[in-house]
Amino acid sequence: MIAPTPERYSARVEELESLRHELEGGNRPGDPGPLVGRVLEAAGDLLRRTEAVKAEGGNVTAVLLLIPEAALKSWSDGVQLPELRTRLQRAASQAVEAAIPDSPEEGEQLAGWAMQDLHARDRLESSLVALEALASNGRGDARVLFERLRRAVEDVDSACRPSAPALSALNGRRRTEAALLDVAHRARAWWYVVRSGIEDDALVQVLGGEAKGRLPPAEKRADGVVTRTRVRRISYDELFRFDLGLATTVEAEVLRRQAAEDAELKRVMAAMEEGERAIEEVTKDDEPPLRSAPVPLPVEPRSSAPEVVEERTEFKVLVFRTKTRVQVVVQPRRTDRFAAAAVFRSDEPERGLPSRSGELGHEFDLGAPEDVAGRTARVVVRLVDGQTHAIEVKL
């Protein structure tokens, strides 16, 4: 369990004393970097909170001076700034989810995780302050490392600081942390300080429309930019995926809805069909690709790979065969033209098989392979203009 905030920092005094013994022992096996990291963090936490936590500054510096030069270098080599950047981005993202959670419990959990990521930035700041203290006590190696790291950390801060408004759901916890910092160190700690005022506590909820409240001018402008009515242009990639039958359910739905109301998109759909007819004409005499035909980076067909028994502009008919089931899937490719599909087994020609909507389209279960062997199924597809296509499938 994580200790309450003030106690956590008070415990640093004892921790530093214990680390002093480890450094004085000097015979710790393995990489000294992690030990140095703990010393710097503990020392820096105390140096940045001299008013909240009473610790002798001289004692802290004395422990820092015990750090060997090589060990300090080893620690600095292990500082992972890209990871820190990712953690700060994640904190901003989780803080928004914490502000508008699916459930209150989830919100609490996400806020806790986001704070842990902010603590990571704060611990690095403590290490830098400790490093600077070491440098000002005559350690030239610490000065070089400090200046290099400070510059690199400033780059991370510049990239992540603009996302501070996203952290407002954490404001209560951030204020507690900020209050423990000495005034001189508070201004730099943007992760605890920027947009942490009470007036911003509900900022994300207001931006999300979950709560009512007054917005400052910049946020008001952003609100106007986002809430203005807009029609999204269907992109080249979306149309292409749709054409290949790879569009997701949502993409297909969006396309269908937009095409119903947008004359330009209707024209695009008509051009797609015309182009498809042209492709069918210019490829009709081509040899169908052999199963053994070389394909790029050949991959063994999966056991669940379907057999395409019919492929038309408006729909595809696929047959999936597994050891236990044979299944026909009718996949609409033009949702604006596809109306309905039915499947009949040759041994029960009057009874349409039940269907269900699956990931790939309308799925019809024909039964076990041994039950349907030698039989056929008739797939009937009706289009919105009344045209009907019937396809025989050998089972």
Partner 1 sequence: MLTDDELFAEISRRKAQGQDYKKQLGELVFRWRDAATTVIRRVQGAFMRGSPDDADEIFQDAVTKFMAKGLDQFRGVSEQVPGKAASPKTFFLRIVKHCAIDRYRRQREELDEGPRDDDEDYEQPRHEAQKAMAEARAKADQGEAHEEYWAAWERLKEEHPNEAAAWDLYHHQDMDDHAEVARILGITVVNSYKRVSRAQAWLKLYVLEARKRDEAPHAAPADDEENES
Q: Which of 322, 324, 326, 360 is nearest to 341 (CA)?
A: 360
CB of 384 closer than 8 Å to CB of 338: yes
CB of 337 closer than 8 Å to CB of 378: no
Contacts of 243 (CB under 8 A, 6+ apart): 272, 276, 333
In the complex, the smallest distance separating the C-beta of residue 266 from partner 1, rounded to whole angstroms, is 11
In the complex, the smallest distance separating the C-beta of residue 134 from partner 1, rounded to whole angstroms, is 26
According to the binding rule CB under 8 A, does residue 51 interact with partner 1?
no
Cβ-based nearer residue to partner 1, 24 or 281: 281
Binding mask 194-233 vs partner 1 (x if CB under 8 A, - otherwise)? xxxxxxx---xx-xxxx-----x-xx--xxxxxxxxxxxx
Which residues from 278-307 bind partner 1, rule CB under 8 A? 278-279, 281-283, 286, 288-290, 293-297, 299, 301-302, 305-307
Chain-centre distance for alpha carbon 385: 43
The Cα 342–Cα 351 span in angstroms is: 10
With H, G, I as helix, E, B as strand and everything else as coil, classify residue 345: strand
Cβ-based nearer residue to partner 1, 261 or 370: 261
What are the two backbone dihedrals, phi and then psi, of residue 262, each rounded to the nearest 5 degrees? -110, 115
Out of 23, 63, 99, 111, point to the residue binding partner 1 (CB under 8 A). Answer: 99
Out of 11, 268, 339, 342, point to the residue binding partner 1 (CB under 8 A). Answer: 268
Q: Which of 329, 311, 312 is nearest to 321 (CA)?
A: 329
Binding mask 110-129 vs partner 1 (x if CB under 8 A, - otherwise)? --------------------
According to the binding rule CB under 8 A, does residue 183 interact with partner 1?
no
Q: Which two tokens stand for residue 98?
A: 């914490």
Out of 14, 17, 311, 371, point to the residue binding partner 1 (CB under 8 A). Answer: 311
According to the binding rule CB under 8 A, does residue 28 interact with partner 1?
no
Cα–Cα separations (whole angstroms), residue 331 to 99, 240, 341, 362:
40, 16, 9, 6
The Cα 158–Cα 152 span in angstroms is: 10
Cβ-based nearer residue to partner 1, 45 or 200: 200
Which residues from 343-382 bind partner 1, rule CB under 8 A? none
In the complex, the smallest distance separating the C-beta of residue 202 from partner 1, rounded to whole angstroms, is 11
According to the binding rule CB under 8 A, does residue 339 interact with partner 1?
no
Cα–Cα separations (whole angstroms), residue 22 to 36, 240, 383:
10, 64, 79
Cβ-based nearer residue to partner 1, 134 or 239: 239
Cβ-based nearer residue to partner 1, 63 or 166: 166
User: Maximum distance among all alpha carbons in the chain?
Assistant: 95
According to the binding rule CB under 8 A, does residue 81 interact with partner 1?
no
According to the binding rule CB under 8 A, does residue 328 interact with partner 1?
no
The Cα 62–Cα 43 span in angstroms is: 10
* Segment lying near partner 1 (by CB under 8 A), choices 113-121, 122-130, 254-262, 378-386: 254-262
Q: Which two tokens stand for residue 129?
A: 């302050």
Out of 318, 326, 366, 393, point to the residue binding partner 1 (CB under 8 A). Answer: 318
Q: Where are the alpha helices (DSSP H) in 80-103?
A: 81-99
CB of 168 closer than 8 Å to CB of 191: no
According to the binding rule CB under 8 A, does residue 332 interact with partner 1?
no
In the complex, the smallest distance separating the C-beta of residue 50 from partner 1, rounded to whole angstroms, is 20
